[in-house]
Amino acid sequence: MAVPALLEPLDPAALWWRVLVAYLVGAVPFGLVMCRLIKGVDLRTVGSGNIGATNAMRVLGRPLGLVAFALDFFKGFAPVALLGAGRVDWQVACGAAAVCGHVWPVYLRFRGGKAVATGCGAIVAIDPLIVVSAGLAWLGTLVLTGFVSLASMVMGVAFPVAAWLRGQPAAVIWATGGLTVLILVRHRSNMRKLLAGTESRSRFGARVRALWQRPTE
C-alpha cells in the first residue's frame, strides 16, 4: 500500500480535536493511578520519582509493572491508530500529541514521564518494524550493560535511523528524531548517574549475563 502523501494540506477543523483527544489520552498517568489504587503509594515520592512504567515496576512488581507499561504503550498507539485516519500527517500529529501528554500531563501540573513506552506505541501504529529494530538495540544494550536508562536512550537514538532505513516519509523521520531528543533530555538525570557510577542496574540484564558466563560442562 502506498504511503499517503505527506504534503497534503492539513484541515485544521478536522485535526484539532484529534490532537486534543490524543493529548488528553496520553496525559493519563496509568502508573501513578495503579500505584495509588493498589499500593496506596504516590509514585512520584518513591524510586526515581518518575511516573513511568519502569518506576511503577519497582512499586508494583514485574507483572503489574508490565501492565502499566502496556497501558502507557496503548495510550500512544490508540490515538495514532484510531484518529490518524490513515494519513501520515495526522498520525504524526496525534502521536506527537500523545507523547507530549505523557511528558507534560495537564492532570499532574505538566510533570510527567520520559516518553519511551508512549513513544513506542505511537511509532508501532505507524510502522511496527521501526520499534522492532530499535527494540533489538534496547535489548542488546540492556543485556550488555544492565542499565534500563541507557538501553532506553540507545533505543531512542535508533528510532530515526530505523525510520530512515525503512524509507519512511520525512515527517516520520523528523518526528522520531524529535522523540530521540525528548528521550535524551528526559533522561539527563540518568546520564549524570551513569557518569557518576551511581545508576542502578536491572536484575534482568545481570541474569542474562550470568547465563552467558556460566561455564559449560
* Tens digit of each residue's pLDDT (9 = 90 or more) over 175-187: 999 999 999 999 9
Q: Which of 66, 82, 116 is the last residue of a domain?
A: 116
Looking at residue 117, what is its pLDDT? 93
pLDDT reading at 90 higher than 90: yes
Residue ranges making up the domain that contains 178: 127-217
pLDDT reading at 5 higher than 50: no
pLDDT reading at 7 higher than 50: no
Q: Whole-prediction pTM value?
A: 0.83
Q: Which of 116, 135, 170 is the last residue of a domain?
A: 116
Residue among 176, 1, 21 nearest 98 (CA): 21
Q: Count the domains in the chain.
A: 2
Q: All 3 cell numbers of residue 171?
A: 515527517
Are 98 and 177 in a shared domain?
Answer: no
Cα 11 to Cα 85: distance, rounded to the nearest angstrom? 12
